Chains A and B, each alone.
Chain A
Amino acid sequence: MPAVSKGDGMRGLAVFISDIRNCKSKEAEIKRINKELANIRSKFKGDKALDGYSKKKYVCKLLFIFLLGHDIDFGHMEAVNLLSSNKYTEKQIGYLFISVLVNSNSELIRLINNAIKNDLASRNPTFMCLALHCIANVGSREMGEAFAADIPRILVAGDSMDSVKQSAALCLLRLYKASPDLVPMGEWTARVVHLLNDQHMGVVTAAVSLITCLCKKNPDDFKTCVSLAVSRLSRIVSSASTDLQDYTYYFVPAPWLSVKLLRLLQCYPPPEDAAVKGRLVECLETVLNKAQEPPKSKKVQHSNAKNAILFETISLIIHYDSEPNLLVRACNQLGQFLQHRETNLRYLALESMCTLASSEFSHEAVKTHIDTVINALKTERDVSVRQRAADLLYAMCDRSNAKQIVSEMLRYLETADYAIREEIVLKVAILAEKYAVDYSWYVDTILNLIRIAGDYVSEEVWYRVLQIVTNRDDVQGYAAKTVFEALQAPACHENMVKVGGYILGEFGNLIAGDPRSSPPVQFSLLHSKFHLCSVATRALLLSTYIKFINLFPETKATIQGVLRAGSQLRNADVELQQRAVEYLTLSSVASTDVLATVLEEMPPFPERESSILAKLKRKKGPGAGSALDDGRRDPSSNDINGGMEPTPSTVSTPSPSADLLGLRAAPPPAAPPASAGAGNLLVDVFDGPAAQPSLGPTPEEAFLSELEPPAPESPMALLADPAPAAEHPRHLAPPAPSGLSESSQSSDRTWVGQRDSDGALPPPPTAGRMYLFYGNKTSVQFQNFSPTVVHPGDLQTHILSGPLAVQTKRVAAQVDGGAQVQQVLNIECLRDFLTPPLLSVRFRYGGAPQALTLKLPVTINKFFQPTEMAAQDFFQRWKQLSLPQQEAQKIFKANHPMDAEVTKAKLLGFGSALLDNVDPNPENFVGAGIIQTKALQVGCLLRLEPNAQAQMYRLTLRTSKEPVSRHLCELLAQQF
């Protein structure tokens, strides 16, 4: 900038400003300004000609008045006039005024744009820069429209000065950020990349900023910048501190440019060219090496610049996530910073480590710092650093150190800041759940959590404990015992009372044997807390009491007394009053059987995404959750159970058992329209196979049939009962080819029925529910009756490595003669699978152990969702799936009469949609569907070509997954 000469001092302006500064009060200031404004107005009156100097002076005064917060509604014209001046100072003031006080007056905008255009076209670099700065400062749409095309030209023109190029790059960046659609992409983009090779470091720095922004949208256009950036970076990194004179900042060569280059590289994957990659790795190593060198200066600026580059380097290494060596080195470097004197460095180190922890290469390396991090959590003075430490602990947690970390976090919780308590509570809850090796530890941890920080334990957390305890038989007894002990503390948190009330209400019977926790003791313990609790908790406790009546008839009189008390029956709260009245009546009117049915144990909760994980994500806000969601290491982070919120306040009413009777008495109320004979699809086992419709034997026969030869006296009979599932697109049992078969011809002592859920609760798209009914047809009691579902290949269906998540509810161990037992299976398809799960039923009949193993009719096509599509789409997709392994074809002889209607019904029943008018040959059938699994969706196209003369079919299946194609082809071929 040319120095302002003495004559340009603008004395009047200085006097005015000092007048304003000397004003004693606001009123005086306003008076002075009014006076000045009147003066300027009289000067700007149309009939006087002002010289450039006074115009500049008055425009300056107006600007100053505007910046003091007063409205300025004139003077724009004078400012625009200044733009055409040839003096730098006048032009500069004109541009300044316009940048600050831009006015949408169309007339003026035209004049301004004209002036800018003239300056851009001039050969004077100073004027060009002024114009570019003005465009960037205003950055309005109009300006963008007017100049977006010119600026790239100036940027890449060979004869532009360095400073102009620099301004042009930054101006273009500003316009692009304001309205990306205005900046035209063209051949200049290729030349912009070459600015990275420019001699002038300022131009390079500006260009890197521009490219970093542009390449986010069009990464392909700027691909070539990677190698250029790498070479530029390596030149900087390897240069001596004196090489880049003006751009060396406290002995660090071009720190800003280095950081920007490293950021640019983070927009791209690792370079494929080995030479480039080698050079880059060398650079990164050099940076890491330099970090180890003793500092060249004691000044804080030196270390700041150095660390800025280092941290950017580390985030690039994390971004690439492919160099185990570098990752580990980065981790070690950060480890040193963990104990650094500077709080900021410790914060940054913890933050970067959080991302490092999620990389498979450096996870172990991060884990070595666990003690330091725990120490940081305890001793750090700054709360934000402690927060990062907690985040890092969460991120580095895995099965091996879960116990240590959870216990440390629990210990910290007692003294933690209030602001982060809730988050820590959530984290502890999640970690405890995710890495729970045994559930008693989990229950202990959560109860501890409630004890230490009850106020911060959100609803979700204690709901979750209840879900898990309800769904896991093996911890119920332990949980009941633990809460019973916890409740004995003289003062316990209300959340603890809630958990305790619910668990004892459900599973109090499991500890009732111990005289120290006999039913009356349990009741009086709970009731001692009753009066200290809020209404919601009291309501829950009332439900617990009525459940006690069912569990322990001996407490009935006491509980009825409590319910009858005026404080309940006439409670001011409607909910409490209603519960008291209803429960009291229920307990006195209903018979034991009815009570037992109504107050039955809660059924297990269906699988859902863990609600607490969802809550943590919500708390963190979008985007921030990624660091926490380490789904990469553990694909099914939503572990053990579903997140269906329990409704502890309602008495469980097992409606299925009521439905059951109606179901078997009548044909299914609704069946897919395609299956004309839906009525007789439902075959009671007693009718025998004779009732099979003319469709012939179905693949279902292969299921629910014993795999092992049945013992001659096997008392089992099975009933597969495809229930009304019309509203629900996914049925576990196919509606069309009936899924009924008698499994054991030799015996009619037991039958097993099965029906789909009709979706009382909207299940997730990949889940289904199956009801199994076991009937004892003999008059002798079955003992040790235990059906279990096993997936071939793994021992426990709960383990999520299997393709299906199957939850079962335990059934009573005794089945009386003539009685029936129902069991609910919640099945969720996690990924595609080939073999169906097995149901093994074990029981003792007349003292002799019996075992049955049956295939459950759950095949991959049960998760089929029909997809309608037009012929064009179909063929397009058909062509997309043209790889040989994606196709499965089978030519086979028809086993059944070839009837077009029946074939249609079978295909529909299989789950795919039938597409008309797709195949040119009307005889042929074409279908499409999607297999929904939790992990992925498999698109599936099929074509069936019957040949009536030869009594042959050709079946072609194309899916995106090879085994699925083959499997489906085989399954379907059996049908015809």
Chain B
Amino acid sequence: MIGGLFIYNHKGEVLISRVYRDDIGSRQAADSAVSSSSGPFPGERLGGSMRRNAVDAFRVNVIHARQQVRSPVTNIARTSFFHVKRSNIWLAAVTKQNVNAAMVFEFLYKMCDVMAAYFGKISEENIKNNFVLIYELLDEILDFGYPQNSETGALKTFITQQGIKSQTKEEQSQITSQVTGQIGWRREGIKYRRNELFLDVLESVNLLMSPQGQVLSAHVSGRVVMKSYLSGMPECKFGMNDKIVIEKQGKGTADETSKSGKQSIAIDDCTFHQCVRLSKFDSERSISFIPPDGEFELMRYRTTKDIILPFRVIPLVREVGRTKLEVKVVIKSNFKPSLLAQKIEVRIPTPLNTSGVQVICMKGKAKYKASENAIVWKIKRMAGMKESQISAEIELLPTNDKKKWARPPISMNFEVPFAPSGLKVRYLKVFEPKLNYSDHDVIKWVRYIGRSGIYETRC
């Protein structure tokens, strides 16, 4: 149960403050907080010094902490602060109770999505301009600290930015019944001339590799995002190459198992949007749902086996005496030659006493960025099964410090047009019994994007 929710700017000034429970900001939090107050802000609603303390405690101990606070959960005087940061904005949920931290973060992310859906980028400017809207939203999505309906589509039906629109009684009662009804995320009577849906499989691949090329850890976390423009109340069924489903089906036809067995993937864990019928998933492992209108995240999953690593980084570091370092890095692309990887960036850390760098690379551009203590090598495009190389000479300044350079790993960023987990969308069937369009009339688009998460190779 969230006790309160605060939004701060980068200076630690409170932009939005909403308190749901009185227990936060009591004496204990006050003790640890240094009493300093920010100026009066339009968004600041409460005046009680009790709340002030929790607000201040977070500012003093997290935003203005001497040491950067890495943990998203901070405990100050038996009060827990959960925060997420969006550019320069801090969102903090505060509670004194033992809540499910995952729930709180889920809510915070959801809230970011909702705000983004309403006014675009989350920035100080936008928040200040929309503070009335934000309070309105907060009233709706959180009651007494318990998260409520946070579906953007549904919210947009009754929280609008166009000022007060006089609604008829019927409209009002319709909204009420819809919001409180079984399918709260979709309203009835949606009509499109063109029934269309977009399916994006977005994956980020994480890797830690030893200098010798041994995989130390690797996993893919992926999302299936759907954008639907469908009329009526369509019933959808989503199918993919999940190993369990494939094997179950394969029991009947043995040859199919052998054919598609290799392509099926083992999903470690997954979560679904609230529209998915979990009972059906549990019993038949089929994913069927009535989608909300517009964009939503259908499912989230994670795999750790049989990951296709799009790039291989081969580092070679040689220390020449105390004042020189030679670095050579080779990257190899490891996918079909017909595909093109984009936005490739290799980041080679340099020692802290670097006094000069010379770089030679055949492809792309490389530059020594002193402010980040790294050589950044950028390649716009690269086809599969190719290889490229960079070599650098780093001059060092002899220092009094006897500490050896820790050699941080070389990291990489890229984008590839396939799913590194191997996930394939097998079908997405749409049934709308009441209206006169069938599965064939729906235009469907599928796109795969694989991005790098933390993709590091030790050197």
Q: Does B397 lie within 8 Å of A44, measured CB to CB?
A: yes
Interface bits B376-411 vs A (CB < 8 Å: 1, else 0): 000000000000000000010111110000000000
Cβ-closest chain A residue relative to B397: A41
Q: Does A74 lie within 8 Å of B373, measured CB to CB?
A: no
Q: How many residues of A contact B (CB 8 A)?
A: 20
Q: Give chain A residues whose Cβ lies under 8 Å from the Cβ of B373.
A: 34, 38
Q: Give chain A residues whose Cβ lies under 8 Å from the Cβ of B401.
A: 73
Label chain B's interface by main secondary structure.
Answer: loop
Which residue of B68, B88, B355, B399 is within 8 Å of A38 (Cβ)?
A: B355
Q: Among the listed stretches A24-32, A361-369, A434-442, which one makes contact with chain B, having 4 or more residues with CB under 8 Å of it? A: A24-32
Which residue of B68, B371, B395, B399 is within 8 Å of A74 (Cβ)?
A: B399
Q: Give chain B residues whose Cβ lies under 8 Å from the Cβ of A24.
A: 10, 88
Q: Does B395 lie within 8 Å of A103, measured CB to CB?
A: no
Q: How long is the Cα–Cα vector from A37 to B401 in the complex, in angstroms?
A: 15
Q: How long is the Cα–Cα vector from A32 to B371 in the complex, in angstroms?
A: 6
Q: Give chain B residues whose Cβ lies under 8 Å from the Cβ of A415.
A: none
Instruction: Check: B354 CB closer than 8 A to any chain A CB.
Output: yes
Q: Does B372 lie within 8 Å of A31, measured CB to CB?
A: yes
Q: Does A41 lie within 8 Å of B400, measured CB to CB?
A: no
Known contacts: A24-B10, A25-B10, A74-B353. The answer to whether A38 contacts B400 by CB under 8 A is: no
Within 346-379 of B, Cβ neighbours of A (below 8 Å) are at 352-356, 370-373
For the complex formed, measure the closest distance between the CB of B69 and the CB atoms of chain A, giving whole angstroms: 11
Q: Give chain A residues whose Cβ lies under 8 Å from the Cβ of B88.
A: 24-25
Q: Does B400 lie within 8 Å of A73, measured CB to CB?
A: yes
Known contacts: A74-B399, A76-B400, A105-B400. The answer to whether A42 contacts B68 by CB under 8 A is: no
Interface bits A1-43 vs B (CB < 8 Å: 1, else 0): 0000000000000000000000011100001101101110110
Q: Does A45 lie within 8 Å of B68, measured CB to CB?
A: no
For the complex formed, measure the closest distance between the CB of B232 and the CB atoms of chain A, giving whole angstroms: 49
Which residue of A26, A42, A103, A108 is within 8 Å of B355 (Cβ)?
A: A42
Q: Does B372 lie within 8 Å of A34, measured CB to CB?
A: yes
Q: Give chain B residues whose Cβ lies under 8 Å from the Cβ of A76.
A: 400
Q: How long is the Cα–Cα vector from A480 to B155 in the complex, in angstroms?
A: 80
Which residue of A31, A32, A35, A42 is within 8 Å of B356 (Cβ)?
A: A42
Q: Give chain B residues whose Cβ lies under 8 Å from the Cβ of A37.
A: 352, 370
Q: Does B395 lie within 8 Å of A38, measured CB to CB?
A: no
Q: Give chain A residues whose Cβ lies under 8 Å from the Cβ of B400.
A: 73-74, 76, 103, 105, 108
Q: Does A45 lie within 8 Å of B371, measured CB to CB?
A: no
Q: How long is the Cα–Cα vector from A624 to B371 in the complex, in angstroms?
A: 56
Q: Does A35 lie within 8 Å of B371, measured CB to CB?
A: yes
Q: Does B10 lie within 8 Å of A73, measured CB to CB?
A: no
Q: Give chain B residues whose Cβ lies under 8 Å from the Cβ of A42.
A: 355-356
Which residue of B68, B353, B370, B371 is within 8 Å of A73 (Cβ)?
A: B353
Q: How many residues of B contact A (CB 8 A)?
A: 18
Which residue of A31, A34, A45, A105 is within 8 Å of B397 (Cβ)?
A: A45
Q: Give chain A residues whose Cβ lies under 8 Å from the Cβ of B398.
A: 74
Q: How long is the Cα–Cα vector from A26 to B68 in the complex, in angstroms?
A: 9
Q: Which of A25, A74, A105, A108 has the most CB of B within 10 A?
A: A74
Which residue of A31, A35, A41, A105 is within 8 Å of B353 (Cβ)?
A: A41
Q: How long is the Cα–Cα vector from A650 to B401 in the complex, in angstroms?
A: 67
Q: How long is the Cα–Cα vector from A105 to B398 in the complex, in angstroms?
A: 14
Q: Give chain A residues whose Cβ lies under 8 Å from the Cβ of B397.
A: 41, 44-45, 74
Q: Give chain B residues whose Cβ lies under 8 Å from the Cβ of A41.
A: 353-355, 397
Q: Give chain A residues whose Cβ lies under 8 Å from the Cβ of B354.
A: 38, 41
Q: How long is the Cα–Cα vector from A105 to B400 in the complex, in angstroms?
A: 8
Q: Does A45 lie within 8 Å of B356, measured CB to CB?
A: yes
Q: Give chain B residues whose Cβ lies under 8 Å from the Cβ of A108.
A: 400
Q: Does B355 lie within 8 Å of A44, measured CB to CB?
A: yes
Cβ-closest chain B residue relative to A28: B371
Q: Give chain B residues whose Cβ lies under 8 Å from the Cβ of A26.
A: 68
For the complex formed, measure the closest distance between the CB of A88 and the CB atoms of chain B, giving whole angstroms: 27
For the complex formed, measure the closest distance between the CB of B316 and the CB atoms of chain A, giving whole angstroms: 23
Interface bits A152-183 vs B (CB < 8 Å: 1, else 0): 00000000000000000000000000000000
Within 226-263 of A, Cβ neighbours of B (below 8 Å) are at none
Cβ-closest chain A residue relative to B403: A73
Q: Give chain B residues whose Cβ lies under 8 Å from the Cβ of A73.
A: 352-353, 399-401
Q: How long is the Cα–Cα vector from A41 to B351 in the complex, in angstroms?
A: 12
For the complex formed, measure the closest distance between the CB of A74 and the CB atoms of chain B, giving whole angstroms: 5
Q: How long is the Cα–Cα vector from A35 to B356 in the complex, in angstroms?
A: 12
Q: Does A45 lie within 8 Å of B355, measured CB to CB?
A: yes
Interface bits A859-883 vs B (CB < 8 Å: 1, else 0): 0000000000000000000000000
Q: Give chain A residues whose Cβ lies under 8 Å from the Cβ of B356.
A: 42, 45
Q: Give chain A residues whose Cβ lies under 8 Å from the Cβ of B370.
A: 34-35, 37-39
For the complex formed, measure the closest distance between the CB of A729 and the CB atoms of chain B, giving whole angstroms: 56
Q: Give chain B residues whose Cβ lies under 8 Å from the Cβ of A39.
A: 370
For the complex formed, measure the closest distance between the CB of A965 and the CB atoms of chain B, giving whole angstroms: 68
Q: Give chain A residues whose Cβ lies under 8 Å from the Cβ of B395.
A: 45
Q: Which of B68, B371, B395 has the most CB of A within 10 A?
A: B371
Q: How long is the Cα–Cα vector from A739 to B273 in the complex, in angstroms?
A: 104
Q: How long is the Cα–Cα vector from A37 to B351 in the complex, in angstroms?
A: 12
A residues with CB within 8 A of B: 24-26, 31-32, 34-35, 37-39, 41-42, 44-45, 73-74, 76, 103, 105, 108
**A–B Cβ pairs within 8 angstroms, 27 of them:** A24-B10, A24-B88, A25-B10, A25-B88, A31-B372, A34-B370, A34-B371, A34-B373, A35-B371, A37-B370, A38-B355, A38-B370, A38-B373, A39-B370, A41-B354, A41-B355, A42-B355, A42-B356, A45-B355, A45-B356, A73-B400, A73-B401, A74-B353, A74-B397, A74-B399, A103-B400, A105-B400
Additional A-B contacts beyond A45-B355, A73-B399 (5; CB < 8 A): A24-B10, A37-B352, A44-B397, A45-B395, A105-B400
User: What 5 A-B pairs are tightest by C-beta distance, nearest first?
Assistant: A38-B370, A31-B371, A41-B355, A73-B401, A35-B371
